[in-house]
Amino acid sequence: MVADSNHLTLTHGLFYGALLVFAVFNLLLFFSSGTVYYFHNAFYMATMGLFLFAMGGFANQYFWPDSTGFANTSIPLLIAVCALAMTLFGRSFLEIAPDTLAATTLRAQAWASAVLLVVTFMLPYNRSILLNTTLALTVIGSLFVIGVLRWRQGYLPALWYVLAWSVMLVGALIYALAAFGYLADFLAREFFMLTAIGAQVILLNYAMVQRWRLLNQKLLDVEHNARSELEIKVHERTAQLRNTMRELERANRKLATLSLNDALTGLYNRRHLDNILPELCAEARRTSQPLTLALIDADHFKRINDTYGHSFGDLCLQRIADILSQHVKRPRDVVIRFGGEEFALLLPGTDSEGACRVCQDILDDMRHTPINAEDGSEVIITLSAGVARLDPAELDQELFRRADEALYQAKASGRDRVALTDAEAVP
C-alpha cells in the first residue's frame, strides 16, 4: 500500500513538474519572440495542470486548506478557465481567418467561458460543474472539428493538433464519466487522464515545432523569391544599362563624327586636323618615315560667290571635295577642309615629289572639270597648292607654317600651280 502511494506520488510529481517546465518554456518563447500562441499554450498547460491538481485534492491540501467552500467552487471555475485557454490557443495556433464560421464559433465559446467564470460563483456546485463540463467538452469537440478542417485546407501543423486533441477528447470523456460516477475506479481514470494530457502536451509541442518549421520554410521561400526577383531586376537593370551605354557610345561616336566632319563636303574638318597632325608628326619622327602636308586653295573663290551666289559656291566646294577624295585614296591619307575654300592633304609615307604629283593631278583634273551654273554657263575653277615635308627637328606648327608659305608662293606666282617649300614652283 505504501509502495503504491509512493509510486502515485512520484507519478504526480513527474507529471506536474514536466507540465510546469513546458509552461515556463512556452512563456519564455513568448517573451523572446512575441508570438502569442506560445503564451496561450503556456496559459493552457498551467490551467490544465492546476485543474488536475485540484481534482487530485492537492490544491485543497496546499493552496486553500482552510477554504472548504472554495475547494468545491475551484473545480468548475478551473474547468471554465481551461475552456477559455483551449479556445485562445486553438484560435491562434490554427491561424483561423477572421469573419469565418470557425472564428465566430471560437469567439462565442471564449465569451461563454468568460461568462461562466463569473456565473460559477453564483450557481450551486452541481449546476456549475455540469454547465462548465459541458462547455469544456463542447470546446474540445469543436476544436477537433476545426483542426480537421484546417488540415484538409492544407495547413500541415493541424495534423498533429488533431492527433493531440483526439487524445484529449478521449481522455476528457472517460475522465468526465468517471468523475460523474458513470465509470468505476476513478483513480485509474485519473491516471489515464494524466497520460492523455501528457500525450497531448507532447503532441501539441511537436505540432508547434512543425508550425515553426513551416513558418521558417515560408520565410526561406520568401527570401529565395525576393533574392530571385532581385537578381532578375538586377539583370534587367544591367541589361538596360548596357543597352543605354551602347546607345550612348553610338551617340558619342556619331557626335564625334559630326564634330570632326565638315557638314557641307563630308570631309574632315579643322578640329580633326588639329588632333591628327601632332600624332602623324610624332609617328613620322619615331619611324623615320616621310610626312608631307599639302594646303590647297580655290583661286578667286570670292569672285565666284559674288557672281553666282553662295549656293553655287557650295556646289563648287562639294565638287572640289569629290576630286580631292578621288585622288587621295590610300587608307592612311587624310583629306581635310579647314577653312572656307581651303583644304589640306596629310600624306604619311609620301615624300615631297610624290605629294607634288598628287597635287598636280588634282589641279589638272579640276581645271578640266567645268561646273554648270544656274544660268547655263560653265565655270572653270582652278586651284593652288603649297607642299611641305616634315623636318624631324621641327614642330607640327612649323610644318603647317611652311606649307602655308608655299601656298602663298603658288598664289603669288600666278595661281593654278603647286609650290614646294624652299624650292622652285612645280610647273
- For 65-118, write each residue's pLDDT tens digit: 777 667 778 888 888 888 898 888 888 878 888 888 888 998 999 999 999 888
The answer to whether position 232 is within a domain reads no
Distance CA(89)–CA(128), nearest Å, equals 24
Residue 389's domain comprises: 270-420
How far lies 280's CA from each of 52, 67, 352, 386, in Å?
A: 104, 115, 16, 19
Domain boundary among 200, 227, 254: 227
Domain boundary among 194, 210, 227: 227
Residue (of 99, 198, 207, 106) closest to 151 by Cα position? 207
Return the C-alpha cell found at 153: 485546407
Q: Are residues 216 and 287 in the same domain?
A: no
The answer to whether position 261 is within a domain reads no
Q: With 80 as the cut, is the pLDDT of residue 202 above it?
A: no
Residue (of 388, 392, 391, 397) closest to 285 by Cα position? 392
The pTM of this model reads: 0.47
> Which residue is it, cell 469537440?
141
The answer to whether position 262 is within a domain reads no
The answer to whether position 427 is within a domain reads no
The answer to whether position 334 is within a domain reads yes
Helix (H) or strand (E) holding 386: strand 383-389
Return the C-alpha cell found at 281: 608628326
Q: Are residues 310 and 201 in the same domain?
A: no
Strands, E, within 174-304: which ranges? Answer: 291-298
The answer to whether position 137 is within a domain reads yes
Q: Are residues 159 and 287 in the same domain?
A: no
The answer to whether position 260 is within a domain reads no
Q: Are residues 206 and 279 in the same domain?
A: no
What average pLDDT does the segment 161-179 reach? 68
Question: Which pLDDT score is estimated for 425?
Answer: 40
Q: Are residues 139 and 67 in the same domain?
A: yes
Q: With 90 as the cut, is the pLDDT of residue 220 above it?
A: no
CATH of the domain at 298: 3.30.70.270
Question: Mind listing the pLDDT tens digit for each residue in 388-397?
Answer: 999 988 988 9
One-letter identity of residue 341? E
What average pLDDT does the segment 265-285 reach? 91
Residue (of 288, 353, 362) closest to 325 by Cα position? 362
The answer to whether position 357 is within a domain reads yes
Q: Are residues 219 and 340 in the same domain?
A: no
How far lies 57's CA from each of 50, 190, 196, 269, in Å?
A: 11, 12, 19, 110
Q: Are residues 283 and 205 in the same domain?
A: no
Q: Are residues 308 and 396 in the same domain?
A: yes
Give the dihedral sign, CA 276/325/270/299.
positive
Least confident interval from 99-103, 209-213, 268-272: 209-213
CATH of the domain at 136: 1.20.1070
One-letter identity of residue 304? I
Q: Specify the 3-state DSSP secondary structure of 107.
A: helix
Q: Are residues 54 and 168 in the same domain?
A: yes
Of 346 and 212, the structure prediction assigns the larger pLDDT to: 346
Q: Are residues 92 and 35 in the same domain?
A: yes
Q: With 70 as the cut, is the pLDDT of residue 3 above it?
A: no
Determine whether 349 is exposed, middle or buried from the number of CB atoms within 10 Å of its CB (0-12, 13-18, 19+).
Answer: middle
Least confident interval from 166-180, 335-349, 370-384: 166-180
In total, how many domains does the chain have? Answer: 2
Question: Which pLDDT score is estimated for 176?
Answer: 63
Q: Are residues 306 and 374 in the same domain?
A: yes
SS3 helix, strand, coil % of the chain, rounded to 5?
A: 70, 10, 20
Domain boundary among 163, 197, 227: 227
Q: Are residues 416 and 303 in the same domain?
A: yes
